Structure 1
Amino acid sequence: MEALQEVQTIVYQFGNKTADGNSKMKNLLGGKGANLAEMSAIGVPVPPGFTITTEVCTEYNRLGKDATIKMLEEDVAMSITNIESIMDAKFGDSENPLLISVRSGARVSMPGMMDTVLNLGLNDEVVQGLVDKTNNERFAWDSYRRFIQMYGGVVLGMKPESKDDIDPFEEIMEHLKEKRDIQLDTQFTVQDLKDLVYDFKDIVKKRTGHDFPTDPWEQLWGAVMAVFDSWNGDRAIYYRTMNGYPADWGTAVNVQAMVYGNMGENSGTGVCFTRDAGTGENVFNGEYLIDAQGEDVVAGVRTPQQVTKLGSERWAKLAKIEEADRLENYPSLEELMPSIYEELKQYQDVLEKHYRDMQDMEFTIQEGKLWILQTRNGKRTGAAMVKIAMDLLKEGLIDEQECLLRIEPNKLDELLHPIFDPRALKMANVIAQGLPASPGAATGQIVFFADEARMYKNTILTRIETSPEDLEGMNLAKGILTARGGMTSHAAVVARGMGKCCISGAGALKIDYKKRVLTVDGKEYHQGDWISLNGSTGNIIEGKVATMEPELSGEFAQIMTLTDRYATMEVRANADTPKDAKIARSFGANGIGLTRTEHMFFEIDRIRAMREMILADTVKGRKHALQELLPMQRSDFEAIFEVMEGLPVTVRLLDPPLHEFVPHQLATQKELAEDMHISLAAVKNKVAELEEFNPMLGHRGCRLGNTYPEITEMQTRAIIEAALNLKEKGITTKPEIMVPLVGTSNEFIEQEKVIRETANKVFKERNDSIEYLVGTMIEIPRAALMASEIAKRADFFSFGTNDLTQMAFGYSRDDASKFLPVYIEKGILKVDPFEVLDQEGVGQLIQMGTERGRDTKPDLKVGICGEHGGEPSSVEFCHNTAMNYVSCSPFRVPIARLASAQAAVRAAR
């Protein structure tokens, strides 16, 4: 504790156009705190406050509440005094009260994942002082009601624990609304609000056994500690795990003077974006509410209005609202408060140019005065991310390298999934319209609760409105649909961050949670019924809608062209079929890094010949069966080589154990015995003979080829003959034959001998030849250790990181799911090593294998073909290891291309 105080400041102040911190201090001040400091320093009207650093959060988790408060007391007291001086009010004073907000602020945006408390500092005496100070009794009691409700949930733990629980505060409010026959919170009278405060305090006493705290300082410390606690809440942990954010980052705490959007008709609050977060269009947009506080906008309990006139007209068109009705009931901020709008528009322009990125801003209007509460780089869809980056480049705000670094590789995945087929959309039955909160196409079965999102393979989470508690279900669902909320609601913002299709504010939907029924225009849709969401238009469609494959075009294609300018490491694809190869090439693959030949043997017309080969007792019998497979293999290779004309194609020889190809069901064994004219007992005996205790370490890979060299002969002949056939057609091929699972140099030498002898034999028969390479997959730790020996004969290395990870850790990939989640939760491992390359351990083997191989053969071609080949941080590791290429699944090729370019840019910098 003392060491932390000695090292650096732990509380940073901002306000009145000065600040202790700046936007470069996000790791220490969190994103919100760093940006508040930056805005204050450049003259943006920010309510004054202070930030408690992320490192204090880490200390809190180690030291506990009392020691952390003692550490902070002096600095926080000084900072509160500074706020009092700027705002000319006093914290806890009953005559001239200062109220504050307490908010979280991690170094990355985590919308709704952690906790906030507003209007802190109120009690029965202070609320009367607020009445006298503002001459607005309704505002003061509404603030008090909100404070008790928020503090009760966040600090005192009075939140619903499951979907079957009812928020006690909401239950009291709903009961009063029914009694008074009103619909909205804004319709409560002053007496209603006083009654709510009394009832809220009463339910707090009943639920907790203690009176609601009245000492403002006790309230403050309770809120600060609750924010720290929320860093390790279920929502935050799930969000961190989902995005790969480390648990030791911690959250900052931001304490600010309250400004009020709920002081009447000349006050309000809103959220705005400097560009469209869904499409990337360069259009200022946002939503606001009159006589409201910030949480009201994102909670979706009231229909928000649009900030701009253009946005309001677009919204009205989607909502099918007549222009006269729009003007009277839903005017834009631009129309209702033109001077405030112009000021807000000016600040959004200033902030975007200052940060050189699209901004997500929160603002409050207090009795005609504009305050900016927050700015941050806005969450956006993959399509918007690409367009915004390219537009900022064209506008001269960023250069090409910065443009590349602005793209989050994994978010490109959103652009690589199927979209609705326009022909199918013409036939679609649109049942309702909502707001296109997050683009995309989603088809799934209706579920109404987040914890039921895994009930079906494809689900549409359908809610009146979402909350942070719904996060896991939102992540599992294919799409999200809400009856309430706008473009800045919780559902919209979180969905865009996840890249999920989302339609919000579909007012025609009537949702009955108890019956699990969605009703639209009198027609009922039950849990499990299929619906489709067009997140680009807001259309809600009955049933399934056919999809089609995406393509590289527009700004996406421009980004990919830019990657080629900077990337020094190539990207290949793992592809076993001509279709996969064609997709890979359309996405810009530089070749095929892995073609698995075993997948070609499982088709019905081939598996019989494969089984005949396995059941044969002699070399002659095996060769007879393999002769049947030869033309099939040759045809397969011709098709793939033709698609990849002029580019290298790495073909891995047969790898899995033979028992995978034989039938294990009695009925299928009988069919095979009859087909092969042998006894059922002979089939059973062979199946039993092939059974292994540990197939992963058994008779597979090069061990098969060295035991049955005729298999390697057939596959080599098929590869070479396919290449020669295409050569006759004028098609250039570059085959690379890869020997799997080598652990000793002699294993490779034996296989290489068979391959080269067979190739030379074919060349002699055809009186022609082609260039080809023979290399190996490094997937056994011993192979990495013996790389210098293996490289004497191998033309290339390809690291198979799936098996290399299994063998290095001693984890079975098929069984690791039983303990890996626990390991990650407990911090034993930071990430799943089968998803993100273990650079410390497995990475050492890769570096060692590469260095030792090139010590022997300096021009040795080295690549990676495991699943890690498409994971951005693993791609960067491969770049830094000086690999020639990475290989990944076809749909990950653009992601790997971008990651390769980014690695080159970062290395150059």
Structure 2
Amino acid sequence: MSRLKPLFIGTNDAHAELTAELAGAKAAQLWRMAQLGLDVPPAFVLPTTLCTAVNSGDPSALEALDEALAEGIAGLEAATGRRFGDSRTPLLVSVRSGAAKSMPGMLETVLDVGLNPVSLRGIIAMTGNPRLAFDSYRRLIQLYGEVVAGVPASAFEERLIALIAAEAAEGEAELDPEALERLAHDYLAIFQRHTESAMPAEPMAQLRAAARAVYRSWEGDKAREYRRLNGLEGLAGTAVTVQAMVFGNAGGASGAGVAFSRNPATGEKGLYADFLFDAQGEDVVSGRRVPGDAALLARRLPVQSAALSHGADVLERAFADMQDIEFTVENGRLWFLQTRSAKRTPRAALRFAVDAVAEGLIDAATALDRLAAIDLEATGISRFAEAPPILAAATVASPGVACGRVAFDSRRAAEMAAAGDPVILVRHDTSTDDVAGFAVSAGILTAVGGRTAHAAVVARQMGKPCLVGCAGLVIGDEVRLGGEVLREGDWLCLDGQSGEIGLGRREIVVDRPEEALRAIEGWRKAG
């Protein structure tokens, strides 16, 4: 294989233009954001064309990969003034995936690559923030362990839960630097126990293994199932983007979030965001924590909130479509990490098309073209003919109503659906590993998580009612909802308009959006 040149973004050597086919949609849109003047951390990309060869173990491809990584890191060092693995001003990087078409949450990411005992001291010296250093280190060990080495996530989660209980903390955000240092050491021991080897300390060794693991995630079960469900089997593979880390877990004026330029559930215009203070992006999109919304961000960080809203408008105009944006605030500075056309419900797709034509964002012909794949019969607003007895409430992540029998995992959901019953998938949290369960379920309910988690995004794309962050849902030795015991097979009703959850079986009726449908018919006649 000929020598492979990394493709740079946001540096003096930035590539002239990146296409989604070569660099993946994520990197191509990063490049576009940088061109639009938005703050984007510098990055380099290894192309989709390398994916198959790397995954097959082609020696020349692996050599080309390693050489490109070394050249890319040298470019990031020059752009940031930091050194990979340095003891004074260390550069840390994220290693992310990106196919030509968006596959939210289906491929893997490794954050904080380059941390080891030497660079850990450098982070503390550079930032004066030991909590940031140890929090980032334990995150690296966990993600590297799960994604690269195959350590089960439960091994790390069980230790975290035990430490939170021992420290009498409400959650991981309350753990102090000393507790996080102990957690990092415990995670290293877990890694050693499960892999019978030590966590690699050499930064380039970490980077090479992380890049190969991200390429390898293309062949994972959930990625294959998502491509099958969405007709994406023809894609060439994923790219790998290596980007300088920015830290949402750097303290009170820092955090991570996901924002939509409009409500992806209804299409209503206005910033729709989830944000976690003192957190990294995986905390938001994993669905394991309950975030605040755009109003909280505006109250606590008004300048950054206004800049985010402006950036969302810029991106929506540039791409002429509703946008899904990942961002980080580090010590008060807003960074844009990703944008893509937003997955949305059929109802939101219809409203956006009508509003975008009225606003001059797109023309009627473009709107009709985008709506061609939308089942307009699915754009109605469903409701229960008679309200069920309400047990609890949750946050609406995807609208609509659903009534079905309770299943507590994707396997049982598939079995019950095959028997002919509608199913409500009930989980403590959902991950994109549950995509097969989503596909067969009438609705989804979770105890924790936010509206912009990857799992919620997938539910909206599938048009499934989804309620998240239900404080009244407690899953332990038994499952309780609003204090009542919930058993597999019980009938449950989810109201994706009000967020209410009730027991029993109810008839569902649908109200059609007649005004919007008349607008569509008018375009067709005019064309």
TM-score normalised to the size of structure 2?
A: 0.95
Q: Does 1:543 align with 2:504?
A: yes
**2:51 match:** 57
Give matches, 1:643-792, under 5 Å.
none
Q: Is the Cα contact below 8 Å between 2:99 and 2:235 reproduced in 1?
A: no
Give matches, 1:313-324, under 5 Å.
none
The verdict on how the C-alpha distance between 1:543 and 1:21 changes in structure 2, with shifts beyond 3 A counting, is: farther
**2:410 match:** 450
CA separation in 1, counterparts of 2:164 and 2:241? 34
Deviation string, structure 1 residues 747-806 (Cα, Å, up to 9, x no partner): xxxxxxxxxxxxxxxxxxxxxxxxxxxxxxxxxxxxxxxxxxxxxxxxxxxxxxxxxxxx
**1:94 match:** 87
**1:11 match:** 6
Deviation at 1:386, TM superposition (A): 1.1
Candidates 138, 150, 161, aligned match of 2:143: 150
What SS does the corresponding residue of 1:195 show, helix, strand or coil?
Answer: helix
Q: Does 1:531 align with 2:524?
A: no
Q: Does 1:424 align with 2:406?
A: no
**Where is the helix percentage greater, Structure 1 or Structure 2?**
1
Deviation at 1:300, TM superposition (A): 3.0
CA separation in 1, counterparts of 2:454 and 2:33? 25
Q: Is the Cα contact below 8 Å between 2:274 and 2:291 reproduced in 1?
A: yes
The verdict on how the C-alpha distance between 1:134 and 1:549 changes in structure 2, with shifts beyond 3 A counting, is: closer
Q: Does 1:132 align with 2:133?
A: no
Give matches, 1:601-612, under 5 Å.
none
The verdict on how the C-alpha distance between 1:508 and 1:92 changes in structure 2, with shifts beyond 3 A counting, is: same
Deviation at 1:378, TM superposition (A): 0.9
Q: Is the Cα contact below 8 Å between 1:89 and 1:98 reproduced in 2?
A: yes
Candidates 381, 391, 394, aligned match of 2:345: 381
Deviation at 1:17, TM superposition (A): 8.1
**1:509 match:** 473
Give matches, 1:41-190, under 5 Å.
41-62=35-56, 64=57, 66-159=59-152, 167-190=154-177
Q: Is the Cα contact below 8 Å between 2:261 and 2:272 reproduced in 1?
A: yes
Q: Is the Cα contact below 8 Å between 1:21 and 1:34 reproduced in 2?
A: no
Task: Specify the code of the residue in structure 2 equivalent to 1:255.
Answer: V
**2:190 match:** 203
Task: Specify the code of the residue in structure 1 equivalent to 2:21.
Answer: N
Instruction: State the superposition RMSD in angstroms.
Output: 1.9
**Where is the strand percentage greater, Structure 1 or Structure 2?**
2
Count residues with an aligned counterpart.
523
CA separation in 2, counterparts of 1:490 and 1:465? 11
Give matches, 1:300-449, under 5 Å.
300-307=287-294, 309=295, 332-407=296-371, 409-412=373-376, 414-415=378-379, 419-421=382-384, 423-425=385-387, 428-449=388-409
**1:26 match:** 20
What SS does the corresponding residue of 1:406 show, helix, strand or coil?
Answer: helix
Task: Specify the code of the residue in structure 1 equivalent to 2:110.
Answer: V
**2:220 match:** 233
CA separation in 1, counterparts of 2:50 and 2:514? 47
What SS does the corresponding residue of 1:485 show, helix, strand or coil?
Answer: coil
Q: Is the Cα contact below 8 Å between 1:18 and 1:41 reproduced in 2?
A: no
Task: Specify the code of the residue in structure 2 equivalent to 1:122.
Answer: L
Q: Is the Cα contact below 8 Å between 1:19 and 1:40 reproduced in 2?
A: no
CA separation in 2, counterparts of 1:270 and 1:392? 25
**1:276 match:** 263
**2:443 match:** 479
Which stretch of the first structure deviates more once superposed, 534-543 or 553-562? Answer: 553-562
Q: Is the Cα contact below 8 Å between 2:409 and 2:427 reproduced in 1?
A: yes
Deviation at 1:156, TM superposition (A): 0.4
What SS does the corresponding residue of 1:453 show, helix, strand or coil?
Answer: helix
Q: Is the Cα contact below 8 Å between 1:465 and 1:484 reproduced in 2?
A: yes
Task: Specify the code of the residue in structure 2 equivalent to 1:536.
Answer: Q
TM-score normalised to the size of structure 1?
A: 0.56
The verdict on how the C-alpha distance between 1:248 and 1:409 changes in structure 2, with shifts beyond 3 A counting, is: closer
What SS does the corresponding residue of 1:105 show, helix, strand or coil?
Answer: strand
CA separation in 1, counterparts of 2:525 and 2:513? 14
CA separation in 1, counterparts of 2:526 and 2:212? 49
CA separation in 2, counterparts of 1:441 and 1:22? 44
Deviation string, structure 1 residues 711-750 (Cα, Å, up to 9, x no partner): xxxxxxxxxxxxxxxxxxxxxxxxxxxxxxxxxxxxxxxx
Candidates 535, 539, 562, aligned match of 2:523: 562
The verdict on how the C-alpha distance between 1:58 and 1:563 changes in structure 2, with shifts beyond 3 A counting, is: farther
CA separation in 1, counterparts of 2:66 and 2:216? 18
Larger Rg: 1
Deviation string, structure 1 residues 367-419 (Cα, Å, up to 9, x no partner): 11111111111111111011111211111111121112222514546337x93
The verdict on how the C-alpha distance between 1:285 and 1:552 changes in structure 2, with shifts beyond 3 A counting, is: closer
Q: Is the Cα contact below 8 Å between 2:105 and 2:455 reproduced in 1?
A: no
For structure 1, the 5+ residue unaligned runs are 161-166, 310-331, 567-909
Deviation at 1:159, TM superposition (A): 2.6
Q: Percent identity between the aligned chains?
A: 40
Deviation string, structure 1 residues 299-357 (Cα, Å, up to 9, x no partner): 233321112x3xxxxxxxxxxxxxxxxxxxxxx11111111112112111111111111
Deviation at 1:52, TM superposition (A): 1.1
CA separation in 2, counterparts of 1:445 and 1:168? 31
CA separation in 2, counterparts of 1:413 and 1:228? 39
Which is bigger in relative contact order (C-alpha 8 A, separation at least 6)?
A: 2
CA separation in 2, counterparts of 1:21 and 1:194? 43
What SS does the corresponding residue of 1:473 show, helix, strand or coil?
Answer: helix
**2:286 match:** 299
Which stretch of the first structure deviates more once superposed, 45-54 or 404-413? Answer: 404-413
Q: Is the Cα contact below 8 Å between 1:18 and 1:40 reproduced in 2?
A: no
The verdict on how the C-alpha distance between 1:533 and 1:519 changes in structure 2, with shifts beyond 3 A counting, is: closer
What SS does the corresponding residue of 1:113 show, helix, strand or coil?
Answer: coil
Q: Is the Cα contact below 8 Å between 1:268 and 1:293 reproduced in 2?
A: yes
The verdict on how the C-alpha distance between 1:388 and 1:18 changes in structure 2, with shifts beyond 3 A counting, is: farther
CA separation in 1, counterparts of 2:170 and 2:220? 33
Task: Specify the code of the residue in structure 2 equivalent to 1:251.
Answer: T
Q: Is the Cα contact below 8 Å between 2:100 and 2:235 reproduced in 1?
A: no
Give matches, 1:586-665, under 5 Å.
none
Q: Is the Cα contact below 8 Å between 1:382 and 1:499 reproduced in 2?
A: yes
Task: Specify the code of the residue in structure 2 equivalent to 1:541.
Answer: G
Task: Specify the code of the residue in structure 1 equivalent to 2:515.
Answer: G
Deviation at 1:455, TM superposition (A): 3.2
